[in-house]
Amino acid sequence: MSKLNILRYPDPRLHKVAKPVTVFDARLAKLVEDMAETMYDAPGVGLAATQVDVHERLMIIDVTEDKTGLKAYVNPEIIWASEDKQVYDEGCLSVPGIYDGVERPSRVKVRAQDVKGETFEVEADGLLAVCIQHEMDHLMGKVFVEYLSPLKRNRIKTKMIKEEREIARHQARPHRR
């Protein structure tokens, strides 16, 4: 397994729409393993392939406390969403340190395939429902900050760009002993 690089907002690659997965092979299984290592290391509860610059309809989620519930969703689609909504404070591995309330359907039913191409369905509420919708947004090229007001979004964008510059400046400095 190897850790992948997570794209940071406002990287334009985060806005690419993912293509359906058509080949279910060892490469796909390895990508899921690498994404899992990356997500757990970050640490996070969900990761879309878009976030690691792979523009395929694949996301992984594990909302368990003990990290034993990893599930890969290949070519996911929401086939039902409740009319009742709920606001959750969301965060994102591509927008580290930023959390804000996003209103979404409180329950969803999703149909997807596993890494072998077998179709399954999941009904979800609570954190899992939020996670599914959040990661599916990534596959459509949407980041959660786009649900926020333009003012908040611009402040976050400015902050993220400034942090990237600081990271780059720090990495460019020669190390002294």
**Does residue 48 contact residue 92 with C-beta atoms inside 8 Å?**
no
Residue with the two structure tokens 């990534």: 138
CA dist., res. 28 & res. 12, Å (int): 24
Is 175 part of any known ligand binding site?
Answer: no
The answer to whether 135 is a known catalytic residue is yes
Q: Is 92 annotated as a binding residue?
A: yes
| CA–CA gap between residue 138 and residue 158 (Å, rounded) | 21
Q: Give the three-state DSSP class for 166.
A: helix
What whole-number distance in Å separates Cα of residue 59 and Cα of residue 36? 10
Flag whether 134 is marked binding: yes
Residue found by looking up tokens 């190390």 in the block: 175
Q: Which of 45, 123, 111 is nearest to 74 (CA)?
A: 111
Q: Write down the catalytic residue from 103, 135, 146, 166.
A: 135
Catalytic residues: 135
* Feature table: binding site: 92, 134, 138
Binding residues for Fe cation, by number, are: 92, 134, 138
